[in-house]
């Protein structure tokens, strides 16, 4: 069986992926909006992204080492602060609860931070429960079709559920807790045992496979988090994407494979050190099978999402043609050569994986 992958984790940095264009923001189409309404993602919210841009000033936010985080803490006119805070509490209640006002008295909006780096320039809202000092975050961004597809595909096909909302031109995302990948590789990886490093190598193989099949790009180390999980008497690590901006945009297949980014070289070194080829192949098969099972278990919802994606413009014609040609060379599946949009390529990729899964089950 020809697989939508290859086995090479050796020397992968010699031909790093090229990301030549800054990705534009694509609007939410009517068919995608209808999908979001059907699955309770599209709601009416009391405040939107542009409203938060009316801040009167800001101060730099530094980390524990007193280094600039590229976030600034913003503040508003006193006459607007209460209204903004109540609106943000309403968003929190809608995102995490039933949308009622009953919890407002227990909530405090402790900080509104604005990021000056990256495509989305999000606001990060810190919400604290004043009864016990527990806090969490959520993000307010401009809505972008690429990111919405990425979030929904992650929710359906990955091991993790995601809560997000769309209202007009505004996207609300829940916070994904974990250690940023670049921080983990620098500060925490050296402290890991050999057993933990072997397990982390396995997780990266599965993460790499998952990103490639669902066409999530640009998973450099700062775009995913590593999550330590206590399991009986040991600590294992999970890897989870946190940035979905590069869903179905680039024309280079390498962009959808985290193994090719120099920022992930330490992960590749772990794979070469701790995993044999047969183990790598096994973990890839496991991940493809899990994706196929999730897709088949949510077949109607996936079909509706792909129907929207296939009619949407999510990239350039050049990128579409380049990507489908590269995947066709790998798979020899004619469905890729016939695809005329990024959504059609994604549909062909998922169909390829589910067909192979069904074929193997009948052997």
DSSP state of 97: S
pLDDT in tens, 203-212: 999 999 999 9
SS3 assignment, position 89: helix
Q: What pLDDT does 310 receive?
A: 97
| Burial (CB count within 10 angstroms: exposed 0-12, middle 13-18, buried 19+), residue 51 | middle
d(CA 320, CA 315): 7
Which of 352, 316, 294, 324 is CA-nearest to residue 160?
294
Give the pLDDT band of residue 72 (cuts 50, 70, 90).
Answer: very high
pLDDT of residue 363: 46
Partner residues linked to 142 by β-bridges: 170
CA 135 to chain CA centroid, Å, is: 22
Work out the average pLDDT over 342-356. 96
Structure tokens at 253: 């297949």
HSE-up of residue 300 (Cα within 13 Å, Cβ side): 2
247 C-beta neighbours (distance < 10 Å), count? 31
Q: Does the model's pTM come out above 0.85?
A: yes
Instruction: Say yes or no to pLDDT of 200 above 80.
Output: yes
- Per-residue pLDDT of 147-192, as tens digits, reads 999 999 999 999 999 999 999 899 999 999 999 999 999 999 999 9
pLDDT higher than 50, residue 2: no
Q: pLDDT class for 63, splitting at 50, 70, 90?
A: confident
Q: At what angle do helices 194-214 and 342-362 cross, to 10 degrees?
A: 120
Give 229-254 as a DSSP string.
Answer: EEETTEEEEEEEE---TTBT--S-GG
């Amino acid at each position: 069986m020809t697989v939508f992958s290859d086995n090479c984790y050796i020397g992968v940095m010699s031909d790093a992926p090229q990301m030549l264009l800054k990705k534009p923001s694509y609007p939410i189409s009517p068919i995608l909006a209808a999908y979001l309404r059907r699955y309770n993602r599209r709601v009416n919210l009391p405040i939107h992204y542009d409203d938060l841009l009316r801040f009167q000033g800001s101060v730099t936010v530094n980390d524990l080492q007193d280094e600039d985080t590229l976030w600034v803490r913003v503040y508003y006119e006193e006459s607007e602060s209460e209204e903004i805070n109540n609106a943000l509490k309403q968003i929190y209640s809608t995102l995490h609860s039933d949308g009622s006002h009953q919890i407002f008295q227990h909530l405090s909006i402790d900080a509104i931070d604005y990021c000056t780096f990256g495509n989305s320039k999000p606001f990060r809202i810190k919400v604290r429960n004043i009864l016990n000092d527990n806090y969490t975050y959520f993000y307010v961004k401009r809505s972008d079709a690429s990111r919405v597809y990425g979030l929904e595909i992650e929710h359906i096909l990955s091991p993790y559920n995601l809560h997000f909302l769309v209202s007009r031109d505004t996207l609300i995302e829940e916070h994904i807790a974990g250690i940023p990948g670049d921080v983990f590789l620098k500060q925490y990886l050296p402290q890991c045992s050999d057993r933990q490093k072997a397990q982390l190598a396995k997780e990266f193989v599965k993460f790499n496979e998952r990103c490639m099949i669902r066409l999530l790009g640009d998973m450099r180390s700062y775009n995913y988090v590593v999550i330590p999980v206590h399991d009986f008497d040991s600590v294992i690590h999970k890897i989870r994407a946190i940035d979905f901006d590069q869903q179905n945009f680039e024309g280079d297949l390498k962009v959808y494979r985290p193994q090719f980014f120099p920022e992930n070289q330490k992960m590749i070194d772990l794979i070469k050190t701790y995993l044999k080829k047969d183990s790598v192949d096994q973990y890839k098969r496991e991940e493809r099978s899990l994706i196929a099972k999730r897709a088949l278990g949510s077949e109607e919802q996936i079909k509706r999402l792909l129907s929207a994606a296939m009619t949407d413009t999510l990239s350039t014609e050049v990128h579409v043609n380049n990507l489908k040609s590269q995947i066709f060379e790998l798979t020899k599946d004619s469905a890729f050569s016939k695809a005329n949009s990024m959504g059609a390529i994604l549909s062909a990729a998922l169909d390829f994986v589910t067909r192979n899964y069904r074929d193997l089950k009948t052997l």
